[in-house]
A and B are shown apart, each in its own frame.
Chain A
Amino acid sequence: MIWINNVAGYGLKNIDIKGIVIICGNYGSGKTETAVNLAIKRKRDGIDVKIADLDLVNPYFRTREARVLLESLGVSVILPDRQYMHADLPILAPAVAGMIQQPSELTILDAGGDDVGVTVLAALENHLSKKKVHMLQVVNPYRPFTEEVKGCIRIKEEIEATSKMKITGLVGNANLIDETLPEHIYKGYDLLKELSLETGLKIEFITACSNIISQLELDRFSCPVLEIERKMNPPWKRLRNKGV
């Protein structure tokens, strides 16, 4: 399936998202993995990409872990100062406001989980309110509290109330990491369609890990599929994936 690697995005449509994109969603829904892979994909498409880690909630597995890779690909990464990298403190790099004022062709803000994780957006309200912003909710129905549409809507409303912003689109990230099967992705897509119908929100794209994407019947999806090459790995998997 060599040809598939030459296609810039899978499914019937390509991901052509531009502008300021905020990635939010419930805790552990896969925001960072989605944000990092979206950044890489769009950079490979040839557009300028900046990404900021706004995750002030989660102490492990943050965008900062993919910093070296992202920078080597030419993606600008905005993180707190190195000396505070492992501080258990809510530090918002001043450069984030700057990147919103002068955005790249694609500017990704990787927010933290749940309503707590987007509190930071309210602090950036002055800067964000003047811009057109895509605010994407990432949903993994195999995570607690978002197994059903009802739970997804509750998270959506909590995020909107705290961030003082409206969610504008959905991202399906159905997975069980290494144990993901095509049926999990199909089931996740079905739930996302229901959620889309209920909320009127567009499905921007869904994701699928590179090891499973060739097994998917892509014509089942009316949205693009973002290929995920996992970057947030525990150390015993890092070496095995060093080619990624």
Chain B
Amino acid sequence: MAKVLMKGNEAIGEAAIRAGCLNYFAYPITPQSEVAEYLAKRMPEVGGVFLQGESEVAVGYMIFGAAGCGERVMTTSSSPGISLMSEALSYIAAAQCPAVFVNIMRGGPGLGGILPSQGDYFQAVKGGGHGDYHLLVFAPDGVQEAVEMTMNAFTLAEKYRGPVMILGDGMIGQMMEPVEFPDNLKSEPSNKDAWATSGMDKRKSDKRNLVRSLFLDPTELNANNLALKAKYVQMKKEEILYEGYNTDLDYKVLIVSYGTMSRVCKTSIDMMKEEGIEVGLLRPRTLFPFPEEAIFKAATRESCKAVISIEMSMGQMVEDVERCVRGQRKVDFYGECGGDIPTPEKIIEVVKGLL
């Protein structure tokens, strides 16, 4: 298929359709409203449903309902909206239902602002909702990658029977780039007869399925949590994604950065190269599971004297970077979180300060 020019938000909507998602529930919020606007037009064309909930709390449980029935389902929102959905996220994780959540982050905390931010790293990676659960979290750095990650998200949500999150900042949602939709990323829906409340008419067995997050028996609850834990262990083995940039050379500083922030870092790295300064970048493409070993290896390369986490936050991922580096190098941090994305010049100034 020929390339088209799309906003990240539109492309995420189209990717969901191409992945076979026919259920989309959402509530508008800048800077992600174009997903809803796009799917309001597109869903009827493919026989799908877009329903606007009366709030993000309602949307979270609409997602739970559809996922429990074994349907491919997605919602999109931005930071404060994801906060409202976090209770449902915890329930969906506990009930082991596949669903795709997209957070096009805006500045926070509170209502914050409508410009790009990466302030929801903790929320996405460390919980957000209550209890022992994780989301599989993808962090695209552009529109094409957002498409591919969204399409994959449906497959992986079913593989692990749990919620998967696409974590993009406002820039990913709003910028336009040429994209294509690879056919090979569409997966056949998995067989959900063993667990989904999809009705008895099409099922071969008489087993009644129950989707629930309440386990009053402590042994049963513990077993459910152990089952969740086993999935997270498997994700750490099978799903870690990252990109190295300029990491095959002897760099003096290693930047760890994700999303659109990493693209500014790449520009800075190219510019410093012209001055004869080599700097490497390790970009996590999944934030959970986190590329722990890759960061350790990149940070402990002999030439590397310093590591810095650069984020559009006040310092969140840096805690994970420090953990991965295991005290072998000093880990610095630079971040802004008002909505103005740091410029390449600013990054260069910060990195040169480490040399």
Contacts and interface: CB of A to CB of B under 8 A. Distances in A.
Interface stretch (A1-9, A14-22, A232-240): A232-240
Interface stretch (A75-83, A162-170, A171-179): A171-179
Contacts of B31: 59-60
A235 B170 contact: no
Contact of A236 (B10, B37, B344): B344
Given A28-B5, A86-B115, A236 B170 contact: no
Contacts of A238: 343-344
B263 A236 contact: yes
Interface string A8-49: 000000000000000000011000000000000000000000
B53 interface: no
Given A234-B263, A236-B264, A60 B3 contact: no
Contact of A234 (B10, B260, B342): B260
Contacts of A177: 5, 176-178
Nearest to A145: B41
A179 B3 contact: yes
Interface band, chain B? 35 or more
B175 interface: yes
Contacts of B41: 145
B267 A28 contact: no
A60 B343 CA distance: 17
B50 to A, nearest CB: 16
Contacts of A63: none
Contacts of B339: 86
A97 to B, nearest CB: 27
Interface of A is mostly: loop
A239 B266 contact: no
Contacts of A86: 113-115, 339
A61 B170 CA distance: 12
B343 A176 contact: no
Nearest to B266: A236
A219 interface: no
Interface of A: 27-28, 58-61, 86, 88, 140, 142-145, 147, 175-179, 234-240
27 contacts: A27-B37, A28-B5, A59-B170, A60-B115, A61-B175, A86-B113, A88-B114, A144-B4, A144-B6, A144-B38, A147-B4, A176-B3, A176-B5, A176-B178, A177-B177, A178-B178, A179-B178, A234-B175, A234-B260, A234-B341, A235-B264, A235-B341, A235-B342, A235-B343, A238-B344, A239-B267, A239-B344
Given A144-B14, A236-B344, 10 more contacts: A28-B5, A59-B174, A86-B114, A144-B4, A145-B41, A176-B3, A178-B178, A236-B264, A236-B266, A239-B344
